[in-house]
């Protein structure tokens, strides 16, 4: 984002146009400035001209009207400055912009997913899991829905069929490969990883990943080999690729 100050000449020109609007009667004369800009910009009850309240009420939605009415109009002696609303000092910083992008802009663009674990938390769990960098990257791709499963390839018009080639039952989504395909179910059943509280792996990839990556907090250390979870996911994916290619 770039900010720039208006040149002084432009500011003077704007003030000049406003003055002409108030005081100029014809093209040839400047007109008489009956009141200074300081006084002119005061509220009506203090002798200024205030905003055109009627016009504001007609044009602007009610939720924004009160914001406009709160604006204090400065005179030529007051300086306009740029302020950034997301830091205590009101100065822009890249860190605060990143926060705005993730928490304000991003949320406005994406519909909120209900009854799903937080994506941020899932990413944190993935990066903190006791696995190698390649598995961390693989987990990131899972959460970001960036693996080349048949469904994703079909969406990109790179495959005609979205079916799972191994079982030929259902669309090959990431959740299918890692949790719902019969082979995946068998692997999880034989592993030391407990099934989720409901007894079955969910239809939601994110709930299942949350279950696998959050085992350490849910179960006593001695009851479960939580470290194996990410590696089982990785091996299921590698096995799928070996089968297809």
Residues that bind Zn ion (CB under 5 A): 164, 166-167, 181
Comparison of 159 and 167: residue with beta carbon closer to Zn ion? 167
Q: Which residues have CB under 8 Å from 92's CB, separation 6+?
A: 1, 3, 82, 84
- Residue with smaller CB distance to Zn ion, 174 or 181: 181
| Pick 131 or 201: Cβ nearer Zn ion | 201
Give the Cα separation of 178 and 165 in Å (integer). 14
Q: Which pairs from 212-220 meet CB under 8 Å and 24+ separation?
A: 213/122, 213/125, 213/126, 213/129, 213/139, 214/125, 219/194
Closer by beta carbon to Zn ion, 40 or else 233: 233
Q: Is 11 exposed, middle or buried (0-12, 13-18, 19+ CB in 10 A)?
A: middle
> Nearest distance from residue 169's CB to Zn ion, in Å?
6
Smallest distance, Zn ion to C-beta of residue 172, A: 6
- Smallest separation, CB 90 to Zn ion (Å): 55
Nearest CB to Zn ion, comparing residues 164 and 209? 164
Alpha carbon dihedral 59, 64, 66, 67, in 10-degree steps, equals: -120
Closest contact distance (angstroms) between CB of 168 and Zn ion is 7
The closest alpha carbon to 1, from 62, 85, 109, belongs to 85
Least separation in angstroms between residue 176's CB and Zn ion is 6
Q: How many CB atoms lie within 10 A of CB 51?
A: 16
């Amino acid at each position: 984002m770039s900010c720039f100050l208006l040149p002084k000449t432009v500011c003077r020109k704007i003030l000049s146009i406003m003055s002409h609007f108030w005081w100029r009667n014809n093209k040839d004369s400047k007109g008489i400035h009956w009141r200074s800009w300081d006084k002119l910009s005061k509220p009506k009850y203090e002798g200024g001209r205030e905003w055109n309240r009627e016009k504001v009420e007609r044009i602007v939605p009610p939720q924004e009207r009160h914001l406009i009415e709160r604006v204090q109009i400065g005179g030529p002696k007051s300086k306009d400055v740029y302020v950034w609303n997301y830091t205590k000092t009101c100065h822009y910083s890249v860190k605060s912009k990143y926060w705005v992008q993730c928490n304000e802009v991003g949320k406005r663009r994406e519909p909120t997913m209900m009854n799903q674990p937080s994506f941020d938390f899932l990413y944190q769990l993935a990066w903190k899991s006791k696995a190698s960098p390649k598995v961390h990257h693989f987990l990131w791709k899972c959460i970001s829905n960036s693996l080349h499963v048949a469904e994703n390839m079909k969406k990109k018009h790179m495959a005609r069929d979205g079916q799972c080639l191994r079982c030929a039952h259902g669309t090959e989504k990431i959740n299918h490969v890692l949790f719902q395909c019969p082979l995946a179910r068998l692997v999880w059943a034989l592993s030391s990883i407990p099934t989720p509280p409901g007894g079955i792996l969910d239809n939601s990839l994110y709930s299942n990943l949350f279950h696998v990556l959050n085992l350490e907090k849910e179960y006593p250390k001695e009851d479960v080999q939580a470290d194996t979870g990410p590696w089982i996911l990785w091996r299921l994916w590698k096995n799928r690729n070996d089968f297809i290619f």
